[in-house]
């Protein structure tokens, strides 16, 4: 049954992002997956029970290739106060597309499209089912950004691995702050759409982002600057998705094309320079630059404590930053 999770979440992603040109294709893929997964009675029921996704009575077992989609779909349905969705044999591609649009808009309908039945709650904490006589919930200005924020935060947090020495709740708060910052920047969600094409790189990038923020905070950087540091860490290897043969230059050019303000310039310079792990580069950047912080985070993420020794020996990382990393993550 897990084969239906990814197509359904992909459909909601397309609707959430307003990519109308891709909506029919996503609905067709979801329609095929639902048809293949239907039970003997010609229906498929999806529920959220105790924050777990349940399909036809069986909890969905996470797979490597479906983990992020399962977590994201579960979280999104919960946030949208959807307790249960049932698709029947007569559901059409158009009906699925309309279902996606209404779920993303958090509509409360008295009649759903043919072949679709949705049970909603008044709130995530409530057990009271929404009355079908309630009018549709209006989509207010800013709702799209808020929904995108919820989706992206859940998507990134779902893929966040355990980091030695880092409280998972702290990591979650860091990710939320980075996403909020990206939403403030015109075009800030575009690089995340690119990163999501590679789940492995996405997880790695989130870990580097969290470590970058924690290192910067520990060495006394202002709270206002932390989200920008985290965003630079998140986008540090974006070019690996776009062009694996020259990721640094590809990242640099692609990020500069997004805008000319300090946010994009900082992220572009980090993406170009973090690989230059030598003393000359470190001197040029300054002892405690954003590049140095992100480079330290990458070293820890890749090789754990051995990476610190390598950076210290090469002169590419200041002693102060190495000591901070050791005390935070490897003490005792």
pLDDT in tens, 300-316: 777 655 556 666 666 55
pLDDT in tens, 114-161: 899 988 765 444 444 443 332 333 333 343 455 556 666 666 777 676
pLDDT in tens, 260-275: 789 999 999 999 988 8
Average pLDDT over the chain reads 77
Hey, what CATH topology would domain 144-329 get? Hypothetical protein af1432 (1.10.3210)
Query: Within 10 A of 25 (CB to CB), how many other CB atoms are there?
Result: 14
Which residues, 6 or more positions from 176, have their beta carbon under 8 angstroms from its beta carbon? 153, 157
Strand (E) or helix (H) holding 8: helix 5-17
> Under DSSP, is residue 25 helix (H, G, I), strand (E, B) or coil?
helix
pLDDT in tens, 183-236: 888 888 788 878 877 888 988 999 899 989 988 888 888 888 899 999 999 999
Does 331 or 117 have the greater pLDDT score?
117
- pLDDT value of residue 87: 94
Helical pair 223-234 and 168-184, crossing angle rounded to 10 deg: 90
Whether the Cβ atoms of residue 104 and residue 147 lie closer than 8 Å to each other: yes
- pLDDT value of residue 203: 87
- pLDDT value of residue 136: 33
- pLDDT value of residue 217: 87
Q: Which range has highest mean pLDDT (70-79, 134-143, 255-264, 321-330)?
A: 255-264
- Given the DSSP bridges, would you call strands 52-55 and 58-59 parallel, antiparallel or unpaired? antiparallel
Output the six-digit token pair for 20: 């109308």
The reply to whether the predicted model has a pTM over 0.85 is: no
Strand (E) or helix (H) holding 314: helix 305-314
Output the six-digit token pair for 222: 């202002």
- What's the pLDDT band for 46 if we cut at 50, 70, 90? very high
Domain boundaries, the chain: 2-138, 144-329
pLDDT in tens, 167-183: 888 888 888 888 888 88
């Amino acid at each position: 049954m897990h084969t239906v999770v990814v197509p359904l979440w992909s459909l909601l992603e397309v609707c959430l992002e307003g990519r109308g040109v891709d909506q029919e294709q996503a609905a067709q893929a979801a329609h095929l997956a639902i048809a293949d997964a239907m039970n003997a009675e010609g229906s498929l029921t999806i529920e959220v029970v105790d924050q777990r996704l349940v399909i036809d009575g069986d909890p969905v077992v996470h797979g490597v290739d479906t983990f992020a989609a399962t977590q994201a779909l579960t979280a999104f349905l919960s946030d949208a106060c959807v307790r249960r969705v049932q698709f029947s044999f007569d559901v059409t591609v158009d009906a699925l597309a309309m279902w996606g649009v209404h779920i993303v808009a958090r509509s409360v309908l008295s009649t759903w499209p043919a072949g679709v039945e949705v049970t909603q709650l008044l709130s995530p904490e409530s057990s009271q089912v929404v009355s079908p006589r309630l009018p549709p919930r209006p989509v207010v200005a800013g709702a799209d950004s808020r929904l995108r924020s919820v989706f992206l935060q859940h998507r990134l947090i779902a893929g966040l691995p355990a980091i030695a020495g880092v409280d998972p709740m702290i990591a979650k708060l860091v990710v939320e702050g980075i996403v909020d910052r990206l939403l403030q920047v015109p075009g800030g969600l575009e690089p995340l759409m690119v990163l999501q094409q590679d789940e492995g790189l996405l997880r790695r990038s989130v870990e580097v982002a969290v470590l970058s923020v924690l290192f910067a905070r520990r060495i006394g950087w202002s709270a206002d600057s932390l989200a920008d540091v985290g965003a630079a860490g998140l986008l540090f290897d974006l070019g690996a998705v776009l062009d694996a043969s020259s990721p640094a230059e590809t990242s640099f050019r692609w990020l500069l094309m997004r805008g000319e303000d300090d946010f994009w310039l900082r992220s572009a310079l980090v993406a170009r320079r973090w690989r230059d792990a030598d003393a000359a580069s470190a001197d040029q950047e300054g002892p405690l630059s954003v590049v140095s912080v992100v480079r330290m985070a990458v070293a820890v993420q890749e090789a754990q404590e051995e990476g610190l020794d390598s950076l210290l020996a090469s002169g590419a990382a200041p002693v102060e930053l190495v000591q901070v990393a050791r005390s935070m993550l490897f003490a005792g």
